């Protein structure tokens, strides 16, 4: 079984630039989640997809952030006009559809905004 993959693994960008991250979930998983993790903290929920529908967004997800899952398979997370406070690890996870199914995480994309 192929796990969750994320690309790129690392991204360094200058403040004000736009960045886009990709997540490929486990193939039979319908649910897809994005989380953000800063140093010394647990991951925080950003947004959730059931198939191609984005069903929930955290208040953490400002209007500079947008996520898509166009065909219910891979997902992208875009950050526009990056700020230094956006520096973090961005984690993608996927799960099956049953309530409480465990989420399996990808390796993350570490974003550094200079």
Partner 1 sequence: AQKVTQAQTEISVVEKEDVTLDCVYETRDTTYYLFWYKQPPSGELVFLIRRNSFDEQNEISGRYSWNFQKSTSSFNFTITASQVVDSAVYFCALSEGGDSSYKLIFGSGTRLLVRP
**Binding piece for partner 1, criterion CB under 8 A, among 11-19, 20-28, 37-45, 75-83:** 37-45
Output the smallest distance, CB 55 to partner 1, in A.
6
| Binder among 31, 61, 67, 113 for partner 1 (CB under 8 A) | 31
Q: Where are the beta strands (DSSP E) in 1-107?
A: 5-7, 10-13, 19-24, 31-37, 44-50, 53-57, 65-68, 75-79, 88-95, 104-105
Q: What is the DSSP letter of 42?
A: -
For position 40 contacting partner 1 by CB under 8 A, the verdict is: yes
Interface residue with partner 1 among 89, 90, 94, 113 (CB under 8 A) is 89
Q: Which of 8, 16, 55, 62 binds partner 1 (CB under 8 A)?
A: 55
Q: Provide the 3-class DSSP secondary structure of residue 74.
A: coil
Please give the Cα distance from 102 to 95 (Å, whole number): 6
Question: Shortest approach of partner 1 to residue 83 CB, angstroms?
Answer: 23
Residue 81, burial from CB neighbour count under 10 angstroms (0-12, 13-18, 19+): exposed
- 28 interacts with partner 1 by CB under 8 A: no
State how far the Cα of 18 lies from the Cα of 94, in Å rounded to an integer. 25
Q: Summarize as ranges the residues that interact with partner 1 (CB under 8 A).
A: 31, 33, 35, 40-45, 48, 55-56, 89, 91, 93, 95, 99-108, 110
């Amino acid at each position: 079984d192929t796990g969750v993959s994320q690309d790129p693994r690392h991204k360094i960008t200058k403040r004000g630039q736009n960045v886009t991250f990709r997540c490929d979930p486990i193939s039979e998983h319908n649910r897809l989640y994005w989380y953000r993790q800063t140093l010394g903290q647990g991951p925080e929920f950003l947004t959730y997809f059931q198939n191609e529908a984005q069903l929930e967004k955290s208040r953490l997800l400002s209007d500079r952030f947008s996520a898509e899952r166009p065909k219910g398979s891979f997902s992208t997370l875009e950050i526009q006009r990056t700020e230094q406070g956006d520096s973090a690890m961005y984690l993608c996870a996927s799960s099956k559809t049953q309530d409480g199914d465990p989420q399996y995480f990808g390796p993350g994309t570490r974003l550094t905004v200079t």
